[in-house]
Amino acid sequence: MPLVAITPLTQDCYEKIWNKFTDCTFLIHEDSIEELKNIFKFKANTFYSNPIRRLEKIKDYQKTEILSLKGMAIKLLLDGQMGGWIGNKNSRVQTFFFSDVIDSLDDTISDPKAFSHILIENMTTKIDTYNKLLTPNNGILTIDISKILPYWGHHNIDKSLFSEMKKMEIKVLPDNELIEMFVDQPAATRRDSYHYHMLKKEKVDLILVGDANYKNNICPCENCSSYKCEIYILKDDARKKLLGLL
């Protein structure tokens, strides 16, 4: 995720890959890509889970002096499901992802129906772009920082990151195990364990993780326990430095 959309871990992820792990071959399994693509597939299609359903409601609002259409759109985005980090289908994640789309709309659009129509069209385009960035070509995912999408916001990264234009390639491998192996694990950690297990089965030398508590999610099977590899935990120091939080 930090490679295709701006998150607090984006800067460390790019810098480590460009500077420290330059000669490595990068791998990812199909299920990891599928998990990322699922974030913006709104299967439930309800007001609470699908931000597009919520933003259709703008059509019914009359513009008031209290709040602009953009202000209303942000409130509707936030007014969804609060929990549910599994699959990231919560309104906080959705607001980070779509607030830029709201912001980019022309301020002169005053008709709620037109506003809603253009907004939903642009949200759908952003989801399509995100999915295309995660679609491999001949088994290779090409990462190009100039195509990174706004998500958590540019205050999380130093702009000098964009002066480096090296593209990177990640091999997308077929899943080498069935997720059913992890059926007894809690749903929240099942998929992480599955991904660690598949990477260790490939005998990788290094795993990049975005979760400081990754040890709780590592697969406990005998093969994984006996295979040791380096784990690098991505850090959000760049964001903290930019915001004066260090």
Q: What is the CA radius of gyration of the chain?
A: 20
Binding positions for Zn ion, 179-218, rule CB under 5 A: 197
Count the residues of the shown chain that bind Zn ion, applying the rule CB under 5 A: 4
For residue 96, which of 17, 149, 157 has the smallest C-alpha distance? 149
> Please, what is the minimum distance in Å from the beta carbon of residue 94 to Zn ion?
33
> Please, what is the minimum distance in Å from the beta carbon of residue 228 to Zn ion?
13
> Please, what is the minimum distance in Å from the beta carbon of residue 213 to Zn ion?
18
Task: Show the 3-state SS of the chain.
Answer: CCCCECCCCHHHHHHHHHHHCCCCCEEEEHHHHHHHHHCCCCCCCCCCCCHHHHHHHHHHCCCCCCCCHHHHHHHHHHCCCCCCCHHHCCHHHHHHHHHHHHHCCCCCCCCHHHHHHHHHHHHHHHHHHHHHHCCCECCEEEECHHHCECCCCHHHCCHHHHHCCCCEEEEEECCCCCHHHHCCCCHHHHHHHHHHHHHHHCCCCEEEECCCCHHHHCCCCHHHHHCCCEEEECCCHHHHHHCCCC
Q: Which C-beta is closer to Zn ion: that of 114 or that of 229?
A: 229
Interface pattern 84-123 for Zn ion (x via CB under 5 A)? ----------------------------------------
Q: Which C-beta is closer to Zn ion: that of 93 or that of 224?
A: 224
Q: Which C-beta is closer to Zn ion: that of 54 or that of 195?
A: 195
Contacts (Cβ under 8 Å, ≥6 apart) of 158: 11, 238, 242
CA distance 209 to 234: 6
Q: Which C-beta is closer to Zn ion: that of 157 or that of 219?
A: 219
Residue from 119, 120, 219, 234 in contact with Zn ion (CB under 5 A):
219
Stretch that binds Zn ion, among 60-68, 98-106, 165-173, 224-232 (CB under 5 A): 224-232
Q: Which C-beta is closer to Zn ion: that of 134 or that of 208?
A: 208
> Please, what is the minimum distance in Å from the beta carbon of residue 179 to Zn ion?
12
> Please, what is the minimum distance in Å from the beta carbon of residue 219 to Zn ion?
3
Q: Which C-beta is closer to Zn ion: that of 89 or that of 197?
A: 197
> Please, what is the minimum distance in Å from the beta carbon of residue 169 to Zn ion?
27
Q: Which C-beta is closer to Zn ion: that of 12 or that of 192?
A: 192
> Please, what is the minimum distance in Å from the beta carbon of residue 221 to Zn ion?
3
Interface with Zn ion includes 221 (CB under 5 A)? Answer: yes
Q: Which residues bind Zn ion (CB under 5 A)?
A: 197, 219, 221, 224
